[in-house]
Structure 1
Amino acid sequence: MHKVLVPKHSGTHRFACLSLYRALLQQCRSSTETAWLDETRSLVRQNFRKYKILQSPSQTVHALRAGYEALDLISSSHTNLQHRERITDIITQAKSQRDKYARMQKRSQPVAPPPTPLTPKAARKAESIRFQNETSRRHPDAKSVLDRPQFLGGKKRHVPVLVNARGLPFLRFKKPQPRNVSSVIRTKLNNRWEWIQRRDRLKVDLLFAEDEEIWDRMTGSKDLPAWPENTETAIEDVKGKINNFDKQTKDLAQKMWNVVLAERAMAAEEAATEQSEQ
Protein backbone atom coordinates (compact mmCIF):
# COMPACT_ATOMS: atom_id res chain seq x y z
CA MET A 1 0.00 0.00 0.00
CA HIS A 2 1.27 3.45 -0.87
CA LYS A 3 2.38 5.31 2.24
CA VAL A 4 0.61 8.65 2.71
CA LEU A 5 2.99 11.41 3.73
CA VAL A 6 1.54 14.06 5.98
CA PRO A 7 3.26 17.38 5.08
CA LYS A 8 3.47 18.69 8.64
CA HIS A 9 5.38 15.55 9.69
CA SER A 10 8.08 16.16 7.07
CA GLY A 11 11.21 17.99 8.18
CA THR A 12 11.87 19.32 4.68
CA HIS A 13 8.35 20.73 4.45
CA ARG A 14 8.59 22.37 7.87
CA PHE A 15 11.95 23.94 6.96
CA ALA A 16 10.51 25.35 3.71
CA CYS A 17 7.44 26.79 5.46
CA LEU A 18 9.47 28.39 8.24
CA SER A 19 11.90 29.90 5.74
CA LEU A 20 9.00 31.40 3.78
CA TYR A 21 7.46 32.70 7.01
CA ARG A 22 10.70 34.41 8.12
CA ALA A 23 11.23 35.90 4.66
CA LEU A 24 7.72 37.38 4.63
CA LEU A 25 8.12 38.88 8.10
CA GLN A 26 11.48 40.40 7.12
CA GLN A 27 9.95 42.00 4.05
CA CYS A 28 7.11 43.38 6.22
CA ARG A 29 9.46 45.41 8.41
CA SER A 30 8.06 48.92 8.36
CA SER A 31 9.94 52.19 8.27
CA THR A 32 8.94 55.84 8.18
CA GLU A 33 7.96 55.49 4.51
CA THR A 34 6.37 52.02 4.78
CA ALA A 35 4.39 52.16 8.03
CA TRP A 36 1.46 50.47 6.22
CA LEU A 37 3.40 47.17 6.28
CA ASP A 38 2.44 46.62 9.94
CA GLU A 39 -0.99 45.53 8.78
CA THR A 40 0.60 43.25 6.19
CA ARG A 41 2.67 41.55 8.88
CA SER A 42 -0.48 40.89 10.93
CA LEU A 43 -2.18 39.38 7.86
CA VAL A 44 0.83 37.11 7.20
CA ARG A 45 0.79 35.76 10.76
CA GLN A 46 -2.97 35.23 10.65
CA ASN A 47 -2.79 33.18 7.42
CA PHE A 48 0.13 31.04 8.61
CA ARG A 49 -1.79 30.17 11.79
CA LYS A 50 -4.84 29.37 9.65
CA TYR A 51 -3.08 27.04 7.18
CA LYS A 52 -0.59 25.29 9.46
CA ILE A 53 -3.03 22.40 9.97
CA LEU A 54 -3.28 21.56 6.26
CA GLN A 55 -2.69 17.86 5.46
CA SER A 56 -3.71 17.66 1.81
CA PRO A 57 -0.64 17.84 -0.49
CA SER A 58 -2.57 19.73 -3.18
CA GLN A 59 -3.85 22.31 -0.71
CA THR A 60 -0.36 22.65 0.72
CA VAL A 61 1.07 23.33 -2.74
CA HIS A 62 -1.52 26.02 -3.45
CA ALA A 63 -0.86 27.67 -0.06
CA LEU A 64 2.92 27.69 -0.61
CA ARG A 65 2.50 29.08 -4.14
CA ALA A 66 0.32 31.90 -2.74
CA GLY A 67 2.96 32.56 -0.10
CA TYR A 68 5.78 32.88 -2.64
CA GLU A 69 3.63 35.17 -4.82
CA ALA A 70 2.95 37.32 -1.74
CA LEU A 71 6.69 37.42 -1.03
CA ASP A 72 7.44 38.66 -4.58
CA LEU A 73 4.62 41.20 -4.34
CA ILE A 74 5.80 42.61 -0.99
CA SER A 75 9.44 42.70 -2.13
CA SER A 76 8.57 44.73 -5.23
CA SER A 77 6.11 46.99 -3.36
CA HIS A 78 8.98 48.99 -1.87
CA THR A 79 9.69 50.41 -5.34
CA ASN A 80 6.53 49.68 -7.34
CA LEU A 81 3.50 51.84 -6.54
CA GLN A 82 1.03 49.54 -8.32
CA HIS A 83 2.12 46.57 -6.22
CA ARG A 84 1.78 48.68 -3.11
CA GLU A 85 -1.79 49.59 -4.05
CA ARG A 86 -2.49 45.91 -4.73
CA ILE A 87 -1.37 45.02 -1.19
CA THR A 88 -3.51 47.84 0.20
CA ASP A 89 -6.54 46.42 -1.63
CA ILE A 90 -5.83 42.93 -0.27
CA ILE A 91 -5.62 44.29 3.29
CA THR A 92 -8.89 46.19 2.82
CA GLN A 93 -10.64 43.06 1.50
CA ALA A 94 -9.30 41.00 4.42
CA LYS A 95 -10.63 43.56 6.90
CA SER A 96 -13.99 43.59 5.19
CA GLN A 97 -14.25 39.79 5.26
CA ARG A 98 -13.20 39.68 8.92
CA ASP A 99 -15.82 42.26 9.90
CA LYS A 100 -18.48 40.42 7.88
CA TYR A 101 -17.60 37.12 9.54
CA ALA A 102 -17.73 38.75 12.99
CA ARG A 103 -21.22 40.14 12.27
CA MET A 104 -22.39 36.73 11.07
CA GLN A 105 -21.00 35.06 14.16
CA LYS A 106 -22.71 37.61 16.36
CA ARG A 107 -26.07 37.04 14.64
CA SER A 108 -25.69 33.26 14.76
CA GLN A 109 -24.94 33.15 18.48
CA PRO A 110 -27.91 31.75 20.39
CA VAL A 111 -29.69 34.18 22.61
CA ALA A 112 -29.22 33.26 26.25
CA PRO A 113 -32.50 32.20 27.80
CA PRO A 114 -33.78 34.38 30.63
CA PRO A 115 -32.76 33.15 34.08
CA THR A 116 -35.19 30.71 35.59
CA PRO A 117 -36.95 32.28 38.57
CA LEU A 118 -36.22 30.63 41.88
CA THR A 119 -38.85 28.52 43.52
CA PRO A 120 -40.18 29.81 46.84
CA LYS A 121 -38.17 27.16 48.69
CA ALA A 122 -34.93 28.01 46.84
CA ALA A 123 -35.54 31.75 47.37
CA ARG A 124 -35.97 31.21 51.12
CA LYS A 125 -32.79 29.12 51.21
CA ALA A 126 -30.79 31.76 49.31
CA GLU A 127 -32.09 34.50 51.60
CA SER A 128 -31.16 32.43 54.66
CA ILE A 129 -27.61 31.91 53.36
CA ARG A 130 -27.24 35.61 52.62
CA PHE A 131 -28.47 36.56 56.12
CA GLN A 132 -26.15 34.06 57.82
CA ASN A 133 -23.14 35.41 55.89
CA GLU A 134 -24.03 39.00 56.78
CA THR A 135 -24.45 38.20 60.50
CA SER A 136 -21.39 35.99 60.91
CA ARG A 137 -19.62 38.78 62.85
CA ARG A 138 -20.91 41.13 65.50
CA HIS A 139 -21.47 44.65 64.24
CA PRO A 140 -18.75 46.98 65.63
CA ASP A 141 -21.35 49.59 66.66
CA ALA A 142 -23.75 47.07 68.21
CA LYS A 143 -24.75 47.78 71.83
CA SER A 144 -25.37 45.28 74.57
CA VAL A 145 -28.90 43.87 74.78
CA LEU A 146 -28.89 44.86 78.46
CA ASP A 147 -28.71 48.56 77.49
CA ARG A 148 -32.45 48.65 76.94
CA PRO A 149 -35.08 49.94 76.58
CA GLN A 150 -33.93 52.62 74.15
CA PHE A 151 -35.74 55.53 72.55
CA LEU A 152 -36.71 54.52 69.00
CA GLY A 153 -37.85 57.90 67.69
CA GLY A 154 -41.36 56.92 66.65
CA LYS A 155 -40.48 53.49 65.22
CA LYS A 156 -42.52 50.45 66.15
CA ARG A 157 -41.11 48.70 69.21
CA HIS A 158 -40.62 44.93 69.09
CA VAL A 159 -40.65 43.48 72.58
CA PRO A 160 -37.96 40.77 72.84
CA VAL A 161 -38.67 37.23 73.98
CA LEU A 162 -36.55 35.51 76.63
CA VAL A 163 -35.49 32.14 75.16
CA ASN A 164 -33.90 29.18 76.91
CA ALA A 165 -31.24 27.53 74.73
CA ARG A 166 -30.35 24.35 76.66
CA GLY A 167 -30.10 26.31 79.86
CA LEU A 168 -28.46 29.39 78.34
CA PRO A 169 -30.73 32.48 78.11
CA PHE A 170 -30.77 35.01 75.30
CA LEU A 171 -33.14 37.66 73.99
CA ARG A 172 -34.74 37.05 70.63
CA PHE A 173 -35.94 40.21 68.91
CA LYS A 174 -36.85 38.67 65.56
CA LYS A 175 -36.26 35.66 63.37
CA PRO A 176 -34.09 34.35 61.81
CA GLN A 177 -31.44 34.23 64.50
CA PRO A 178 -28.14 35.98 63.67
CA ARG A 179 -25.22 33.66 63.05
CA ASN A 180 -22.94 35.35 65.59
CA VAL A 181 -25.55 34.80 68.33
CA SER A 182 -25.73 31.09 67.47
CA SER A 183 -21.94 30.89 67.52
CA VAL A 184 -21.69 32.46 71.01
CA ILE A 185 -24.38 30.13 72.39
CA ARG A 186 -22.72 27.08 70.87
CA THR A 187 -19.28 28.03 72.25
CA LYS A 188 -20.54 28.58 75.80
CA LEU A 189 -22.52 25.35 75.87
CA ASN A 190 -19.58 23.38 74.47
CA ASN A 191 -17.30 24.79 77.20
CA ARG A 192 -19.74 23.76 79.92
CA TRP A 193 -20.09 20.28 78.46
CA GLU A 194 -16.29 19.87 78.33
CA TRP A 195 -16.10 20.78 82.03
CA ILE A 196 -18.76 18.18 82.84
CA GLN A 197 -16.88 15.50 80.89
CA ARG A 198 -13.62 16.43 82.63
CA ARG A 199 -15.33 16.20 86.02
CA ASP A 200 -16.64 12.73 85.23
CA ARG A 201 -13.21 11.54 84.06
CA LEU A 202 -11.61 12.89 87.22
CA LYS A 203 -14.15 11.03 89.36
CA VAL A 204 -13.04 7.78 87.72
CA ASP A 205 -9.39 8.74 88.29
CA LEU A 206 -10.23 9.41 91.92
CA LEU A 207 -11.29 5.80 92.40
CA PHE A 208 -7.95 4.57 91.10
CA ALA A 209 -6.15 7.10 93.31
CA GLU A 210 -8.01 5.84 96.40
CA ASP A 211 -7.04 2.27 95.53
CA GLU A 212 -3.39 3.35 95.25
CA GLU A 213 -3.67 5.06 98.61
CA ILE A 214 -5.08 1.88 100.22
CA TRP A 215 -2.26 -0.17 98.70
CA ASP A 216 0.36 2.20 100.07
CA ARG A 217 -1.12 1.87 103.54
CA MET A 218 -1.11 -1.92 103.30
CA THR A 219 2.51 -2.06 102.12
CA GLY A 220 3.70 0.69 104.42
CA SER A 221 5.08 2.83 101.57
CA LYS A 222 3.25 6.02 102.38
CA ASP A 223 3.97 8.92 99.98
CA LEU A 224 3.20 12.61 100.34
CA PRO A 225 1.00 14.09 99.17
CA ALA A 226 -1.72 11.45 99.20
CA TRP A 227 -2.80 9.96 95.89
CA PRO A 228 -6.35 11.36 95.90
CA GLU A 229 -5.29 14.88 96.91
CA ASN A 230 -4.39 16.27 93.45
CA THR A 231 -7.38 14.61 91.81
CA GLU A 232 -9.76 16.02 94.41
CA THR A 233 -8.28 19.48 93.88
CA ALA A 234 -8.82 19.19 90.12
CA ILE A 235 -12.42 18.03 90.66
CA GLU A 236 -13.15 20.99 92.93
CA ASP A 237 -11.63 23.35 90.37
CA VAL A 238 -13.86 22.00 87.58
CA LYS A 239 -16.92 22.09 89.86
CA GLY A 240 -16.11 25.71 90.67
CA LYS A 241 -16.03 26.58 86.95
CA ILE A 242 -19.38 24.88 86.37
CA ASN A 243 -21.01 26.53 89.40
CA ASN A 244 -19.60 29.94 88.46
CA PHE A 245 -20.92 29.51 84.88
CA ASP A 246 -24.36 28.52 86.18
CA LYS A 247 -24.44 31.46 88.59
CA GLN A 248 -23.50 33.91 85.82
CA THR A 249 -26.14 32.35 83.58
CA LYS A 250 -28.79 32.75 86.28
CA ASP A 251 -27.84 36.39 86.86
CA LEU A 252 -27.86 37.03 83.10
CA ALA A 253 -31.32 35.48 82.79
CA GLN A 254 -32.65 37.77 85.54
CA LYS A 255 -31.15 40.84 83.84
CA MET A 256 -32.63 39.84 80.50
CA TRP A 257 -36.03 39.28 82.11
CA ASN A 258 -35.86 42.78 83.56
CA VAL A 259 -35.16 44.07 80.06
CA VAL A 260 -38.26 42.24 78.76
CA LEU A 261 -40.42 43.78 81.51
CA ALA A 262 -39.02 47.25 80.80
CA GLU A 263 -39.60 46.81 77.06
CA ARG A 264 -43.20 45.74 77.68
CA ALA A 265 -43.82 48.74 79.90
CA MET A 266 -42.26 51.09 77.33
CA ALA A 267 -44.29 49.53 74.51
CA ALA A 268 -47.53 49.95 76.49
CA GLU A 269 -46.65 53.56 77.27
CA GLU A 270 -45.88 54.35 73.62
CA ALA A 271 -49.13 52.69 72.50
CA ALA A 272 -51.11 54.76 75.00
CA THR A 273 -49.39 57.95 73.84
CA GLU A 274 -50.15 57.16 70.20
CA GLN A 275 -53.81 56.54 70.94
CA SER A 276 -54.11 59.81 72.89
CA GLU A 277 -52.61 61.74 69.98
CA GLN A 278 -55.12 60.26 67.58
Structure 2
Amino acid sequence: MSSFNRRHSMADPSQTANALKAGYEALDLLSSSRTDQHDAHRITTLIVEARSLKDKYAAMQREIRPVAPTAKSPTPKEAKKAQSIRFQEETNQRHPNATSVLNRPRPLGDKKRNVPVLVNARGLPFLRYKKPQPRNVSSVIRTKLSRRWAWIERRDRLKLELLFAKDEEEWDRITETKEPSTWSEHPANAIADVNAKIGRFDMRTKELTDSMWKIVLAEKALAEEEASQKQPKQ
Protein backbone atom coordinates (compact mmCIF):
# COMPACT_ATOMS: atom_id res chain seq x y z
CA MET A 1 0.00 0.00 0.00
CA SER A 2 2.83 2.39 0.83
CA SER A 3 4.31 1.86 -2.64
CA PHE A 4 1.03 2.90 -4.25
CA ASN A 5 0.83 5.90 -1.92
CA ARG A 6 4.25 7.05 -3.10
CA ARG A 7 3.20 6.58 -6.72
CA HIS A 8 -0.22 8.17 -6.37
CA SER A 9 0.34 9.95 -9.70
CA MET A 10 0.07 6.61 -11.52
CA ALA A 11 -3.56 7.03 -12.61
CA ASP A 12 -3.35 5.10 -15.92
CA PRO A 13 -4.87 1.58 -15.50
CA SER A 14 -2.35 0.12 -17.96
CA GLN A 15 0.54 1.48 -15.88
CA THR A 16 -1.00 0.00 -12.77
CA ALA A 17 -1.40 -3.38 -14.48
CA ASN A 18 2.19 -3.35 -15.75
CA ALA A 19 3.47 -2.45 -12.29
CA LEU A 20 1.51 -5.28 -10.70
CA LYS A 21 2.72 -7.71 -13.35
CA ALA A 22 6.34 -6.69 -12.80
CA GLY A 23 5.89 -7.04 -9.07
CA TYR A 24 4.43 -10.52 -9.33
CA GLU A 25 7.19 -11.59 -11.72
CA ALA A 26 9.78 -10.33 -9.25
CA LEU A 27 8.16 -12.30 -6.45
CA ASP A 28 8.06 -15.45 -8.59
CA LEU A 29 11.69 -14.94 -9.55
CA LEU A 30 12.73 -14.53 -5.92
CA SER A 31 10.83 -17.66 -4.93
CA SER A 32 12.30 -19.81 -7.71
CA SER A 33 15.84 -18.51 -7.15
CA ARG A 34 16.05 -20.59 -4.00
CA THR A 35 16.13 -23.79 -6.09
CA ASP A 36 16.90 -22.61 -9.63
CA GLN A 37 20.50 -21.39 -10.17
CA HIS A 38 19.54 -19.78 -13.47
CA ASP A 39 16.99 -17.53 -11.76
CA ALA A 40 19.46 -16.73 -8.99
CA HIS A 41 22.03 -15.68 -11.59
CA ARG A 42 19.41 -13.58 -13.33
CA ILE A 43 18.61 -11.73 -10.09
CA THR A 44 22.30 -11.05 -9.52
CA THR A 45 22.62 -9.73 -13.07
CA LEU A 46 19.61 -7.45 -12.64
CA ILE A 47 21.05 -6.04 -9.39
CA VAL A 48 24.42 -5.37 -11.03
CA GLU A 49 22.74 -3.70 -14.01
CA ALA A 50 20.57 -1.59 -11.71
CA ARG A 51 23.61 -0.43 -9.75
CA SER A 52 25.44 0.34 -12.99
CA LEU A 53 22.53 2.42 -14.25
CA LYS A 54 22.39 4.23 -10.91
CA ASP A 55 26.12 5.04 -11.06
CA LYS A 56 25.81 6.28 -14.65
CA TYR A 57 22.88 8.48 -13.70
CA ALA A 58 24.81 9.92 -10.74
CA ALA A 59 27.82 10.62 -12.98
CA MET A 60 25.59 12.33 -15.52
CA GLN A 61 24.05 14.48 -12.79
CA ARG A 62 27.50 15.53 -11.61
CA GLU A 63 28.45 16.57 -15.13
CA ILE A 64 25.38 18.74 -15.64
CA ARG A 65 25.53 20.17 -12.12
CA PRO A 66 26.42 23.89 -12.27
CA VAL A 67 30.03 24.55 -11.39
CA ALA A 68 30.55 26.78 -8.38
CA PRO A 69 31.80 30.18 -9.52
CA THR A 70 35.43 30.85 -8.79
CA ALA A 71 36.23 33.62 -6.36
CA LYS A 72 36.57 36.81 -8.33
CA SER A 73 39.36 39.24 -7.70
CA PRO A 74 38.39 42.18 -5.49
CA THR A 75 37.85 45.54 -7.11
CA PRO A 76 40.38 48.31 -6.40
CA LYS A 77 37.88 49.87 -4.00
CA GLU A 78 37.38 46.59 -2.12
CA ALA A 79 41.14 45.95 -1.99
CA LYS A 80 41.76 49.43 -0.61
CA LYS A 81 39.07 48.94 2.03
CA ALA A 82 40.52 45.58 3.08
CA GLN A 83 43.99 47.12 3.29
CA SER A 84 42.65 49.93 5.47
CA ILE A 85 40.98 47.43 7.81
CA ARG A 86 44.23 45.46 8.16
CA PHE A 87 46.14 48.66 8.89
CA GLN A 88 43.68 49.69 11.60
CA GLU A 89 43.96 46.27 13.22
CA GLU A 90 47.76 46.42 13.11
CA THR A 91 47.85 49.92 14.64
CA ASN A 92 45.28 49.26 17.34
CA GLN A 93 48.05 49.34 19.94
CA ARG A 94 51.05 51.64 20.06
CA HIS A 95 54.24 49.87 18.99
CA PRO A 96 56.44 49.21 22.05
CA ASN A 97 59.52 50.58 20.27
CA ALA A 98 57.79 53.66 18.90
CA THR A 99 59.38 56.99 19.81
CA SER A 100 57.45 60.10 20.72
CA VAL A 101 56.53 62.32 17.82
CA LEU A 102 57.94 65.22 19.83
CA ASN A 103 61.42 63.71 19.36
CA ARG A 104 61.27 64.77 15.73
CA PRO A 105 62.80 65.93 13.50
CA ARG A 106 65.16 63.11 12.73
CA PRO A 107 68.75 63.87 11.70
CA LEU A 108 69.72 64.38 8.09
CA GLY A 109 69.69 61.20 6.04
CA ASP A 110 69.53 59.68 2.57
CA LYS A 111 65.90 58.59 2.72
CA LYS A 112 63.12 60.83 1.50
CA ARG A 113 61.78 62.86 4.40
CA ASN A 114 58.05 63.07 4.94
CA VAL A 115 57.10 66.55 6.06
CA PRO A 116 54.17 66.22 8.47
CA VAL A 117 50.96 68.20 8.41
CA LEU A 118 49.69 69.85 11.57
CA VAL A 119 46.05 68.80 11.89
CA ASN A 120 43.42 70.33 14.15
CA ALA A 121 41.07 67.65 15.50
CA ARG A 122 38.31 69.68 17.19
CA GLY A 123 40.90 71.84 18.89
CA LEU A 124 43.38 69.06 19.60
CA PRO A 125 46.56 69.09 17.47
CA PHE A 126 48.43 66.13 16.05
CA LEU A 127 51.02 65.56 13.36
CA ARG A 128 49.99 63.51 10.37
CA TYR A 129 52.95 62.01 8.54
CA LYS A 130 50.90 59.76 6.28
CA LYS A 131 47.45 58.36 5.70
CA PRO A 132 45.54 56.45 6.90
CA GLN A 133 45.75 57.56 10.48
CA PRO A 134 46.79 54.85 12.98
CA ARG A 135 43.95 53.63 15.17
CA ASN A 136 45.85 54.21 18.42
CA VAL A 137 46.27 57.90 17.50
CA SER A 138 42.54 58.21 16.86
CA SER A 139 41.85 56.50 20.18
CA VAL A 140 44.08 58.94 22.10
CA ILE A 141 42.40 61.92 20.44
CA ARG A 142 38.91 60.63 21.23
CA THR A 143 39.86 59.95 24.86
CA LYS A 144 41.25 63.44 25.40
CA LEU A 145 38.33 65.16 23.71
CA SER A 146 35.83 63.06 25.68
CA ARG A 147 37.56 64.00 28.93
CA ARG A 148 37.39 67.72 28.15
CA TRP A 149 33.76 67.46 27.08
CA ALA A 150 32.91 65.65 30.34
CA TRP A 151 34.39 68.57 32.28
CA ILE A 152 32.29 71.03 30.30
CA GLU A 153 29.11 69.05 30.97
CA ARG A 154 29.95 68.88 34.67
CA ARG A 155 30.51 72.64 34.75
CA ASP A 156 27.10 73.23 33.15
CA ARG A 157 25.41 71.06 35.78
CA LEU A 158 27.25 72.86 38.56
CA LYS A 159 26.18 76.24 37.21
CA LEU A 160 22.57 75.11 37.43
CA GLU A 161 23.14 73.93 40.99
CA LEU A 162 24.68 77.29 41.79
CA LEU A 163 21.51 79.08 40.70
CA PHE A 164 19.41 76.93 43.05
CA ALA A 165 21.94 77.52 45.81
CA LYS A 166 21.61 81.28 45.45
CA ASP A 167 17.84 80.94 45.67
CA GLU A 168 18.30 79.05 48.94
CA GLU A 169 20.56 81.79 50.24
CA GLU A 170 17.98 84.40 49.32
CA TRP A 171 15.36 82.44 51.24
CA ASP A 172 17.65 82.22 54.26
CA ARG A 173 18.15 85.99 54.09
CA ILE A 174 14.41 86.59 54.01
CA THR A 175 13.73 84.19 56.87
CA GLU A 176 16.84 85.36 58.73
CA THR A 177 18.15 81.80 58.87
CA LYS A 178 21.87 81.37 59.41
CA GLU A 179 23.77 78.39 58.04
CA PRO A 180 27.33 77.35 58.94
CA SER A 181 28.27 77.76 55.26
CA THR A 182 26.63 79.32 52.25
CA TRP A 183 24.64 77.19 49.85
CA SER A 184 26.69 78.36 46.89
CA GLU A 185 30.07 77.60 48.43
CA HIS A 186 30.37 73.97 47.32
CA PRO A 187 29.12 74.33 43.73
CA ALA A 188 31.21 77.48 43.30
CA ASN A 189 34.34 75.65 44.48
CA ALA A 190 33.55 72.72 42.18
CA ILE A 191 33.11 75.08 39.23
CA ALA A 192 36.46 76.69 39.99
CA ASP A 193 38.08 73.24 40.11
CA VAL A 194 36.60 72.22 36.75
CA ASN A 195 37.61 75.53 35.19
CA ALA A 196 41.15 74.97 36.42
CA LYS A 197 41.23 71.51 34.82
CA ILE A 198 39.94 72.87 31.52
CA GLY A 199 42.41 75.74 31.69
CA ARG A 200 45.37 73.42 32.28
CA PHE A 201 44.19 71.16 29.47
CA ASP A 202 43.91 74.07 27.05
CA MET A 203 47.30 75.42 28.11
CA ARG A 204 48.96 72.06 27.45
CA THR A 205 47.15 71.89 24.12
CA LYS A 206 48.52 75.30 23.14
CA GLU A 207 52.03 74.30 24.17
CA LEU A 208 51.68 71.07 22.22
CA THR A 209 50.50 72.98 19.16
CA ASP A 210 53.51 75.29 19.33
CA SER A 211 55.91 72.35 19.70
CA MET A 212 54.35 70.50 16.78
CA TRP A 213 54.44 73.56 14.56
CA LYS A 214 58.15 73.94 15.27
CA ILE A 215 58.61 70.30 14.24
CA VAL A 216 56.79 70.96 10.95
CA LEU A 217 59.06 73.93 10.20
CA ALA A 218 62.18 71.95 11.14
CA GLU A 219 61.14 68.94 9.04
CA LYS A 220 60.45 71.21 6.09
CA ALA A 221 63.83 72.91 6.38
CA LEU A 222 65.65 69.56 6.61
CA ALA A 223 63.71 68.21 3.63
CA GLU A 224 64.79 71.20 1.54
CA GLU A 225 68.39 70.79 2.68
CA GLU A 226 68.40 67.08 1.83
CA ALA A 227 66.89 67.80 -1.58
CA SER A 228 69.58 70.39 -2.32
CA GLN A 229 72.33 67.93 -1.34
CA LYS A 230 71.01 65.35 -3.81
CA GLN A 231 71.09 67.79 -6.72
CA PRO A 232 74.14 67.39 -8.97
CA LYS A 233 76.73 70.10 -8.51
CA GLN A 234 77.32 72.42 -11.45
TM-score by length of 1: 0.62
Question: Where does residue 210 of structure 2 map in the other structure?
Answer: 254
Q: Is the 8 A contact 2:109 2:226 kept in 1?
A: no
The within-5 A match list for 1:120-269 is 123-124=76-77, 127-128=80-81, 130-132=83-85, 134-136=87-89, 137-141=92-96, 143=98, 144-150=100-106, 154-269=110-225
Change (3 A) 1:146 1:64: farther
Distance in 2 between residues matched to 1:74 and 1:263, nearest whole Å:
101
SS in structure 2 at match of 1:174: coil
Distance in 2 between residues matched to 1:236 and 1:53, nearest whole Å:
88
Distance in 2 between residues matched to 1:153 and 1:191, nearest whole Å:
40
SS in structure 2 at match of 1:163: strand
SS in structure 2 at match of 1:177: coil
C-alpha RMSD over aligned residues: 4.2
100-109 or 230-239, larger mean C-alpha shift? 100-109
Q: Is the 8 A contact 1:132 1:178 kept in 2?
A: no
Distance in 1 between residues matched to 2:24 and 2:180, nearest whole Å:
102
Q: Is the 8 A contact 2:102 2:212 kept in 1?
A: yes
Q: Is the 8 A contact 1:162 1:170 kept in 2?
A: yes
SS in structure 2 at match of 1:211: helix
Amino acid at match of 2:197: K
| 1:106 and 2:62 are equivalent in the alignment | yes
Shift of residue 162, structure 1, vs aligned partner = 0.7
Change (3 A) 1:114 1:203: same
196-205 or 100-109, larger mean C-alpha shift? 100-109
**What is the total number of aligned residue pairs between the two structures?**
227
Identify the match of residue 8 of structure 2 among 55, 64, 74: 55
Distance in 2 between residues matched to 1:152 and 1:65, nearest whole Å:
97
Q: Is the 8 A contact 2:94 2:136 kept in 1?
A: no
Shift of residue 159, structure 1, vs aligned partner = 1.0
Change (3 A) 1:180 1:65: farther
Amino acid at match of 1:138: Q
Structure 1: runs of 5 or more not aligned: 1-12, 18-50
Shift of residue 55, structure 1, vs aligned partner = 1.9
Change (3 A) 1:162 1:97: same
Change (3 A) 1:161 1:72: same
Shift of residue 161, structure 1, vs aligned partner = 0.6
Structure 2: runs of 5 or more not aligned: none
Q: Deviations over 1:165-217 (max 9, x none)?
A: 22110111223434443343233223322322221221122121012112113
136-145 or 160-169, larger mean C-alpha shift? 136-145
Shift of residue 154, structure 1, vs aligned partner = 4.5
Change (3 A) 1:55 1:268: same
Distance in 2 between residues matched to 1:262 and 1:223, nearest whole Å:
61
Change (3 A) 1:55 1:163: same
TM-score by length of 2: 0.71
